[in-house]
Amino acid sequence: MTRISVKVDGTVYQDEVEPRLLLIHYLRDRLGLTGTPIGCDTSNCGACTVDLDGASVKSCSVLAVQADGSEVTTVQGLARDGEWTALQHAFHERHALQCGYCTPGMLMAARDLLRDNARPTPDEVRHALEGNLCRCTGYQNIVRAVLDAAETAEQGVAT
Amino acid sequence: MSEVGTARLRKEDARLLTGQTRWTDNIDATGMLHLAVLRSPMAHARVDRVDVSPALERPGVVAAFSGADLAEGMGSLPCAWPVTEDIVLPDHPPIATSEVRFAGDPVAVVVARDRYAAADALEAVEVEYTPLPPVLDLEEALAEGAPLVHSDKGTNRCYDWPLRTGEDFAEVRRRAEVTLKRRYHQQRLIPNAMEPRAVVVTPTAASDEYTVHSSTQIPHILRVMLAVVTGVPEHKLRVVAPDVGGGFGSKLQVYGEEAITLAVARRLGRPVKWTESRSEGYLATHHGRGMIQDIEIAANRDGTLLGLKADLLVDMGAYLMLVTPGIPILGAFMYPGIYKMGSYELNVTGVFTTRTPTDAYRGAGRPEATYAIERIMDELADELGLDPVELRRRNWIRHEEFPYTTIAGLTYDSGNYEAATDKALALFDYDKLRAEQADRNQRGDTVRLGIGVSTYTEMCGLAPSRVLRDLRYAAGGWEAASVRMLPTGKVEVVTGTSPHGQGHATSWSQIAADVLGVPFDDVQVVHGDTRAAPQGMDTYGSRSLVVGGTAVHHAATKVVDKARKVAAHLLEANEGDLEFTDGVFSVKGSPDARRTIQEIAFETFTSHDLPDGVEPTINAGHLTDPDNFSYPHGTHLCAVEVDTETGQTRIRSYVAVDDVGRVINPLIVEGQVHGGLAQGIAQALYEEAVYDEEGNLVSGTMADYLVPAAPDLPEFVTDRTETPATTNPLGVKGVGEAGTIASTPAVVGAIVDALRPLGVRDLRMPCTPERVWQALKEASA
Ligand code: FES
Ligand code: FES
């Protein structure tokens, strides 16, 4: 057992964890933060994507102990005081989700992209989302939503 | 303003966008245990010995069971579609007891306090197998002396299902000026809903009652079937499908793991959860397609079709799941497509193999049928020197000919193939692309352009119960809805359909809001829980809107009729003198005499002043059994660029014009088309379940099975025509599968079209760069 301290969505958690515990299971099973789902066991689908100290990571390929001393943001920490981010609004308006299972990962990966590249081209969006699979939308509306969010973000709305 | 036809943003989105989701795997319960399944590593073997006791020594383990331990009291998993009287129906234990028949067949389970401990302890279970020969090739499986998947049945032939209509095909073949024969392969596909399957069973203390949460498309059917399989009485079972992360047919199933988890929770008297890993799902969640199609077409030189013959060899896999044998039968009626002809002959042969069972996958039988007819139409056009669009024009049912009874015996109620095709051609800029193609061919460009067309129709709105009886399907095709007016005037719509991404809460609200004249936001849709929504036939095959949406429409209409009686009483008027607009009853000629439907709801709640003999409610329910299927159609055009040096295909443009009848919500319709296109294109270009010669699944993880990502798919141009269905009051036809059905032949047709001048006549799916390159090499050799 290893002692860790992690700040998740603004709250600090102190825990004893097995060294092999994956971050995704720590979030879901220990903290009850089930907003981030699991889609695969080979780090291919991106459903579990979260933000770890300012970079998007697949939380199924990170150990909980590696997050010690870090700050994690999940889909549940995106909205502030109930206010959705520009990306959440854009996904809603563009119908960029159907079953919604890939959505948390998509939002986190798109957020990371827009941080690095405020005005991506459609191709850049598609490439940035390569590690996030969606089986419902055919991606087109997701790409549109990210482009829309980029536009609103320029006007000062948080992505 | 009419809600129907408006691009309403979805009610479902808020919780999905903020992570407030209710996936089955999110469910936790006090004292909950985790179940893990040990699976056969071999395609076919005798199970000589299973010893679970070493697993019990492992930390955190609470119990472990072999197949034999669980066999008592467990029935066979159901096959609800025994398509012929003499079909071979093998026993299908939820967990193997003496023989395993595919890699992934369950042999033992371990139950532990956490999921890591359960997974670890699987390693300790001891199993001894005697390998038996795998059965993999569909034709060899039928040969004399072939090894048998089910030795007690004496054959690998599951069934033969013939259909012959019109003139004798042999006769037509003799007379025809042109005949063509082709063999097409429908590779096995793995559905890959993004949410893995999961089930949580929670017993109610000491009363033999259970709540089963499952990531299922069919909570109602599952409840009946679990009662039958496990012996838990139906009224003690509540099945809930909470948020479900996609299904595409793969969750239209009664899975062994659902029965096993229930049986184990019952024995232990504790909540038990099982969640599949993706790789486990690849083995154990049913696959789709898996078929060899021998197609023959007969025509005259002017292109007039005379007849069609199709012989299908269909891979059932190792067992018959819920509707396995019926999938090709759903397709059987669709091989003639939108074309007129005088003769049709079909034979379906179901074959057992030692592979994961197959069953419904997006489109279920209809994509296979459409692929065959559309591809062979392209070949016929080539043979006759006709443009493929022109060949289709010469044979399709013209819009003034509807309703039209096809050679397969279906009556298409409405359609307008001309309009959809003309619109698609214009959007695509067909002539310009053809000119560019000719130019590239002329120049001998190493990157060739190809154009593919697919003019499809499908059969949705499953299904009239009497038709299902004739097809030997063991249930009806009705759907239930009820509409409850709450005392404050808000509305609950209860539906028997069970969505998993299709946006029913939004569309059903639109339908009810229009009929009742209440605001869209005042409607709440209740679904996916057999206690809250007790009747239903669930969601699959694009039936929800056509059958379930129609039921909502009728139930809401009944509410208005009941409310009218109360309004007439309160307004002291004759019912016939009342008008009902935008939720308000008013007396003709005296506009001040009015009552809103919300006021009537409150009046029935207090019941202080109701007419004699009127029940104190205006709630109403309705069950709809459709009169006919519905037949969406459309025209899809695809242009590809194929690099002849690398074999790489790039979709240059894709135009889809679909006619799904009246549209309730254009935003949702467009989204459904996009998703369908992605799946159909993936069959054409990327996906295939590959087995080695031992019967092991080689493409066993997401790293080996290519699910397309965002850069792999093009921008789609979608548009539509609207020819309302005449068989339901909404005029709707269904949309979920259209994109999948239409796109596969359009894409493959385009690639073959690009390479035809270089001698390529056909390609096997998926058309990977390697396959394209090989085909080019063979053609030039
Ligand atoms: S669950 Fe992490 S990438 Fe699939
Ligand atoms: S919305 Fe269903 S997987 Fe993306």
The first and second tokens of residue A45, run together, are 């689908």
Q: Is B544 on the interface with A (CB under 8 A)?
A: no
CA of A102 to the centre of ligand 2 (A): 5
Gap from B276 CA to chain A (nearest CA, Å): 9
Minimal Cβ distance to B677: which of A100, A132, A138 = A138
Minimal Cβ distance to B501: which of A47, A99, A139 = A99
Determine the atom of ligand 1 nearest the C-alpha atom of A48.
Answer: 2
pLDDT in tens, B469-485: 999 999 999 999 999 99
Sign for the CA dihedral angle at A18, A22, A24, A29 comes to: negative
Q: What is the pLDDT of residue B362?
A: 96
Q: Is the pLDDT of residue A154 over 80?
A: no
Interface test with B, best of A38, A95, A127, A159 (most B CBs within 10 A): A95
Alpha-carbon gap, residue B296 to B310, rounded angstroms: 6
Alpha-carbon gap, residue B664 to A134, rounded angstroms: 24
Name chain B contacts of A95, Cβ cutoff 8 Å: 9-10, 667-668, 670-671
Please say whether the beta carbons of B650 and B488 come within 8 A: no
- Model-level pTM? 0.97
The pairing of beta strand A49-52 with beta strand B45-51: unpaired
Ligand 2 site, residue B517, Cβ cutoff 6 A = no
Alpha-carbon gap, residue B349 to B548, rounded angstroms: 33
**Residues 665-704 (B) with a CB less than 8 A from some CB of A:** 667-668, 670-672, 674-679, 701-703
Name chain B contacts of A34, Cβ cutoff 8 Å: 19, 21, 23, 25-26
Q: Is B193 on the interface with A (CB under 8 A)?
A: yes
Q: Is A86 on the interface with B (CB under 8 A)?
A: no
Alpha-carbon gap, residue B434 to B443, rounded angstroms: 14
Closest CA to B560 of B548, B568, B550, B549: B568
Alpha-carbon gap, residue B77 to B79, rounded angstroms: 7
Interface test with B, best of A24, A43, A98, A144 (most B CBs within 10 A): A98
Please say whether the beta carbons of B567 and B583 come within 8 A: no
Determine the atom of ligand 2 nearest the C-alpha atom of A136.
Answer: 2
Give the ligand at the shortest distance from the Cα of A58.
Answer: 1
Q: Which residues of chain B have pLDDT under 70?
A: 1
Alpha-carbon gap, residue B355 to B44, rounded angstroms: 9
- What are the distances in angstroms from CA B638 to CA B1, B382, B393, B452, B657? 38, 17, 18, 5, 12
- Count of beta carbons in the 10 Å neighbourhood of residue B574: 10
Determine the atom of ligand 2 nearest the C-alpha atom of B246.
Answer: 2
Would you say the ipTM is above 0.90?
yes
Q: What is the pLDDT of residue A159?
A: 73
CA of B246 to the centre of ligand 1 (A): 16
The first and second tokens of residue B578, run together, are 């009342």
Work out the burial of residue B661: count CB atoms within 10 Å of its CB; fewer than 13 is exposed, 13-18 middle, 19 or more buried.
buried
The first and second tokens of residue B589, run together, are 């000629």
Give the ligand at the shortest distance from the Cα of B21.
Answer: 2
Give the ligand at the shortest distance from the Cα of A107.
Answer: 2
Q: Tell me if the bond preceding B403 is cis, omega within 30° of 0.
A: yes
Q: In this structure, what is the dihedral angle of CA atoms B166, B167, B173, B179, given to the nearest 10 degrees?
A: -30
Closest CA to B391 of B344, B325, B340, B444: B340
Alpha-carbon gap, residue B83 to B605, rounded angstroms: 50
Q: Tell me if the bond preceding B750 is cis, omega within 30° of 0.
A: no
Gap from A69 CA to chain B (nearest CA, Å): 24
CA of B259 to the centre of ligand 2 (A): 27
Q: Is the pLDDT of residue A142 over 90?
A: yes
Interface test with A, best of B116, B194, B539, B673 (most A CBs within 10 A): B194
pLDDT in tens, B94-126: 999 999 999 999 999 999 999 999 999 999 999
